[in-house]
Amino acid sequence: MILCGERIKADKAQSIGLVEEVVPQGAALDKALELAEMAGKQSPSSVARCKTLVMSARDGRSHDDGWRMERELFIELFSTEDQREGVNAFLEKRTPEWKNR
């Protein structure tokens, strides 16, 4: 696709894993806003680490470096207040109150 400029339809892109979801024409912005709202409800600490991982993948890191970095960032989360808050909120069946700490 990249080398030959091949164009594919949305359903094919989804079937080969190039895209995660296909939405009707004109609905992309609404879906993006919905996903952003969902992400906004997550712990800022974990979202920041996820973004760090995504950006590091763009820098040409090896898979081994990426897996190592993911493990290290995941382990860091266990020492945050947000991790404890997330577990407690889940157990208490309430919405978490993130502190970004």
pLDDT tens digit sequence for 18-48 = 999 999 999 999 999 999 999 999 999 999 9
> Is the model's pLDDT at 60 over the cut of 80?
no
What's the whole-number mean pLDDT along residues 88-99? Answer: 93
Q: HSE (CB half, 13 Å, CA atoms) of 13? A: 12
Residues 69 and 82 in one domain: yes
In the structure, what pLDDT confidence band is assigned to residue 101 with cuts at 50, 70 and 90? confident
Q: Is the dihedral of CA 71, 97, 42, 94 positive or negative?
A: positive
Q: What angle do CA 59, 22, 3 make, to 5 degrees?
A: 45
Residue 66's pLDDT is 87
Q: What CATH number did the domain enclosing 68 receive?
A: 1.10.12.10
Residue 77 lies in a domain: yes
Residues 56 and 78 in one domain: yes
In angstroms, the Cα distances linking 23 to 13, 17, 81, 83 are 12, 15, 37, 33
Residue 33 lies in a domain: yes
DSSP state of 51: H
